[in-house]
Amino acid sequence: MASHPWARRTVTGTRPGRRVAFRFVAGETLAEAMAAARELHSRGLRTMLDHLGEHVETPKQALAAREAYLSALAAGADAEDVDAAISVKLTQLGLDVSVDACWANFEPIVQSAGEKDRLVMIDMESHGYVDRTLEVFARAYERSQHVGIAIQSYLRRSEADVFSLPEGCRVRLVKGAYLEPDDVVFTRKRDVDASYARLFATLLAREHAVDVATHDPTLIEGVRTRVDAFEYGWSRVEFQMLYGVRRDLQSRLAADGYPVRVYIPYGTEWYPYLTRRMAERPANVWFFISNLVRTSG
C-alpha cells in the first residue's frame, strides 16, 4: 500500500503527512540535520547523519549523493560541539550499476573520513545487496579503519557472515528493516531476537566494536548487564537508536552514563525511509491517520 502513488502523494504532499514524517526525519537540509545534532548533543547524545536516498538510477545522481555525504562529513568535522558520524547506503552511490562504480564514489568519502578522523558506517540494505555490500566494505576497510558495517539479525546468513568480517572492525547490529522472503530471514520475532543475542555475543567475543542499534528494551537490558561486567566493555559498545524513536529511552540511557548515538536522517528523499518506520510499528500508521482526520476535520 505504501508504494502506491496515492499513498506517496498523501504523505509527501499534505501537511499532516509531513508532520508525521518530520517526527522521524530531521528536515530536508544538512543545516536542519546539524541543528538536530546540536540539540541532541546538548542532551549528552552522539549522532550519525544519514543523507536519505537509495537506488539511484544515473551516475549524476550517485555523484550528487557523494557530494552530499562529503558535505555532511565536513559539517560534522567542522562543528566542535557535536560528535557526528555519517551513515551511507551504497545503492545511493551506484551499487546497482556495479561494485566498481559504487567504489569510485565511495572511495573519496572513505579517504575524507580518514583525513578528518570521522566514522563512516555502511547501512545494510535488502538481501540481494549483501554480498556486494560486504565486498565494498572489505575494500574500504583495507583503506581506512574509520569504516564500519551494519549486520542484520533477521538474515539467516549473518551467523556465517560475521566470521568473514575483517578482524576487530566496527559492526552495527540491527534486526533488519526490509520485507524479505521467508527462506532468507527468520520470520518470528523470537527467532530474530535470539539471533540478535547470539550475534552480539559472537561479535563481542571476536573483539569487534559493536553498535547495539535497537529500541528493544529486553535486548538493551541483556547487553547492558553483559557489558557492565567487562572492565572496559563500554569502550567498544554503544547503543544506537533512530531519530524520533524512544526518545525517553535514549535520554534515560545517556543520563545513566551509557554511550548513545542517534541516527539522524535528513534530505528530500524521505518517503521510503518513512514507510519502513511505519511498517515497524502499526501505532505510527494510526498516528498518521489521526493527524490526517484531525487536520481535514
Ligand X SMILES: Cc1cc2nc3c(=O)[nH]c(=O)nc-3n(C[C@H](O)[C@H](O)[C@H](O)COP(=O)(O)OP(=O)(O)OC[C@H]3O[C@@H](n4cnc5c(N)ncnc54)[C@H](O)[C@@H]3O)c2cc1C
Nearer to ligand X, 28 or 280 (CB): 280
Minimum distance from CB of 108 to ligand X (Å)? 21
Nearer to ligand X, 59 or 217 (CB): 217
Q: What region does 82 belong to: left with phi over 0, alpha with psi -120 to 50, or beta? A: beta
175 neighbors 191 (Cβ within 8 angstroms): no
Minimum distance from CB of 245 to ligand X (Å)? 5
127 neighbors 177 (Cβ within 8 angstroms): no
Of 46, 66, 170, 172, the catalytic one is 172
Q: 3-state DSSP call for residue 149?
A: strand
Minimum distance from CB of 126 to ligand X (Å)? 8
Nearer to ligand X, 60 or 190 (CB): 190
Of 50, 83, 123, 211, the catalytic one is 123
DSSP assignment string, 249-266: HHHHHHHTT--EEEEEEE
Spatial distance between the Cα atoms of 235 and 57, rounded to a whole number of angstroms: 40
Minimum distance from CB of 163 to ligand X (Å)? 20
Q: Is the dihedral of CA 55, 59, 65, 66 positive or negative?
A: positive
Q: Strands 237-242 and 209-213: what pairing?
A: parallel
Cell of 41: 548533543
Residues at the interface with ligand X (CB under 6 A):
123-124, 150, 152, 172, 174-178, 213-216, 240-242, 245-246, 263, 277, 280-281, 284
124 neighbors 149 (Cβ within 8 angstroms): yes
Helix/strand/coil percentages in the chain, nearest 5: 55, 15, 30
Catalytic residue at 226? no
Catalytic residue at 252? no
Quote the distance between the C-alpha of residue 162 and its chain's center: 18
The letter for the amino acid at 55 is: H
Nearer to ligand X, 8 or 247 (CB): 247
Minimum distance from CB of 201 to ligand X (Å)? 17
Nearer to ligand X, 158 or 284 (CB): 284
Residues with catalytic function: 123, 172
